[in-house]
Structure formats: structure tokens, C-alpha cells
Amino acid sequence: MAGVCSTPKVDFVRSLGADHVIDYRRDDVADGKSRYDVVLDIGGSSSLARLRRALTPRGTLVVVGGEGGGHWVGTTYRSLQAPLLSPFVGQKLRPLMPNENHQDMSVLTQLIDAGKLMPAIDRTYPLAEAPKAIRYLEEGHARGKVVITLDPARYPHGQAHLHRRGR
């Protein structure tokens, strides 16, 4: 499995289990030198045409979210474009539209409780410091998730699930 990130996050991505890490500031994942069966583009801003160059002829591109916009549909443009283009190319182009439900959340909880799924948490901020957390995210330095916590005295039910699991 390969991961793509900026220079300061190379070691972090490797620690998450990537066998090969591509620093997009130095190398172009879509230069055609390497081809992948599956490309999962999370929150990127690359065009579908560019991402398709990183795929094998029968590969699959999964687009999750996006950054920026520019089109009247904003960040969903690529997610709308992918299934429209897919029938005309040899590759499968798919959007991933999250649909949270109780069953999926239950499975995730079980995986976390069993220690099989460990979220990568960079920093934790109390709710009162939410603007500071947002600035940190906007600066692009986060290596993992940034968590906003609720004060149990003010929001006694907000963290009940965390206390139940001993976190």
C-alpha cells in the first residue's frame, strides 16, 4: 500500500502502515511511472484526468470529498463527475458518499474497543478553544485528527461513550 502526503508527514504516513510513501512536493503520483489498482483520493483537489493517470487500465478511483471548489457545485464537483465519466473509460470512477448509520457505528465501536482500529489523533482541544483548533487545521500541520472535547461538568452526556470505554 502506498500513501501520498507532504514532506513533514512522510514518517507519520509510514507509521500508519504505508509500504511506500510518495511525497507530493517532490514526486508526482500521476507521472505514469507507477500504476495502482485502486486510488482512494480523500479530500484532494486533483482532477479526475490526473488521478486516472495513476490507475491501471482497469483500476478503480474512489473520490471522497474535495477541497476548494470553483464550480457552482463546489467540492462535490468531482463526486458528481466521476460516475458520469466512468461508462466511457476502462477504469471505474466512483464517489464515496458517507452514510452513517447505527450498524456501521456499532462495528467501528467494536473494532476500537478490541484495539483493532486506532484513530490517529494529533491534538485535543476543549470546546472553548475550538477557534484555535480550526486555525491549527487551516495551517495544514495536523497529523491525524483534531478532536474537540466537551467539558463533562457542562455536557454530562457528551462524553459518556468515552468514559464507558475507559478513554
Which pLDDT does position 136 carry in this prediction?
Answer: 92
Residues 91 and 112 in one domain: no
Radius of gyration from C-alpha coordinates of the chain: 19
Residues 49 and 76 in one domain: yes
Domains: count for the chain: 2
Count helices and strands in the chain by DSSP H and E runs:
6, 7
Residues 9 and 87 in one domain: yes
Predicted model pTM = 0.67
**pLDDT tens-place string over residues 74-113:** 556 677 777 777 878 888 888 877 777 899 889 989 998 9
Domain boundary among 53, 70, 95: 95
Q: What contacts 35, CB < 8 A, 6 or more positions away?
A: 54, 55, 56, 59
Containing structural domain, residue 114: 102-164
Please state whether beta strands 121-126 and 2-5 pair in parallel, antiparallel, or not at all (unpaired). Answer: unpaired
Residue 163 has pLDDT above 70, yes or no: no
Start-end of H helices in 30-101: 48-52, 77-85
Which pLDDT does position 1 carry in this prediction?
Answer: 84
% of the chain exceeding 70 in pLDDT? 83
Nearest alpha-carbon partner for 34 in 45, 43, 22, 44: 22
Q: What is the CATH number of the domain that holds 6?
A: 3.40.50.720
Residues 9 and 78 in one domain: yes
Which pLDDT does position 89 carry in this prediction?
Answer: 87
**Is-contact 30 37, C-beta < 8 A?**
no
Residue 152 has pLDDT above 80, yes or no: no
**pLDDT tens-place string over residues 20-55:** 899 988 998 888 788 999 988 886 677 888 888 889
For residue 129 the three cell numbers come to 478553544
**Is-contact 11 3, C-beta < 8 A?**
no
Residues 107 and 89 in one domain: no
Residues 28 and 70 in one domain: yes
Residues 74 and 89 in one domain: yes
Which pLDDT does position 132 carry in this prediction?
Answer: 95
Residues 13 and 86 in one domain: yes
Which pLDDT does position 43 carry in this prediction?
Answer: 67
